[in-house]
Amino acid sequence: MDRADIESRLRDVLVSELGLDAAKINLGANFEQDLDVDSLGVVELLMAMEDEFGVKIPDDEAEHIHTVGEAVDLVHTKLNS
């Protein structure tokens, strides 16, 4: 799966599972500051990513995800390692 596929699927999940505003989602968008995702929402985000892509994201790796782009990168790395 390439980055574009991951971004596309992640975007769908953010809209359908987390109810985020599709118009605000881009690779540079910060989850907390730009997309209004609070601390509970971050956990929901991680769970949704794990379910969608079949990966496990431990807490120490989750701490580094602040933007949509960072989330795409993490999934890409996990799926291709």
Partner 1 sequence: MNSRRRVVVTGMGVLTPVGNDVEAFWASLMSGTSGAGPITRFDPSGMRCQIAAELKSYDAEDHFERKEIRRLDAYNQYFLVAARQAMKDAGLAFPPDDEMAVRAGVMVGGGFGGMETFIDEIRVLDARGADRVSPTGIPRIIANMAAGLASIEHNLLGPVSCVVTACSASANAIGDAAEIIRRGAADVMLTGGTEAAITDYAVASFGQSRALSTRNDDPTRACRPFDAGRDGFVMGEGAGALVLEERERAIARGARVYAEFGGYGMSADAYHITLPRPGGTGAARAMTAAMADADIGPADLGYINAHGTSTEANDATETAAIKVALGEHAYRVPISSTKSMTGHVLGGAGAVEAIASILAMEREKLPPTINYEDPDPECDLDYVPNTPREARVDWVMSNSFGFGGHNVALVFSRPS
Q: Does 44 bind partner 1 (CB under 8 A)?
A: yes
Cα end-to-end span (Å), the chain: 12
Place of tokens 């989750």: 62
Q: Does 22 bind partner 1 (CB under 8 A)?
A: no
Place of tokens 């991951």: 6
Q: Does 29 bind partner 1 (CB under 8 A)?
A: no
Give the one residue of 6, 10, 13, 20 binding partner 1; rule: CB under 8 A.
20
Active-site residue (options: 38, 59, 60, 73) = 38
Do 71 and 65 touch, CB atoms closer than 8 A?
A: yes
> Is position 38 annotated as part of the catalytic site?
yes
- Hey, which residues are catalytic here? 38
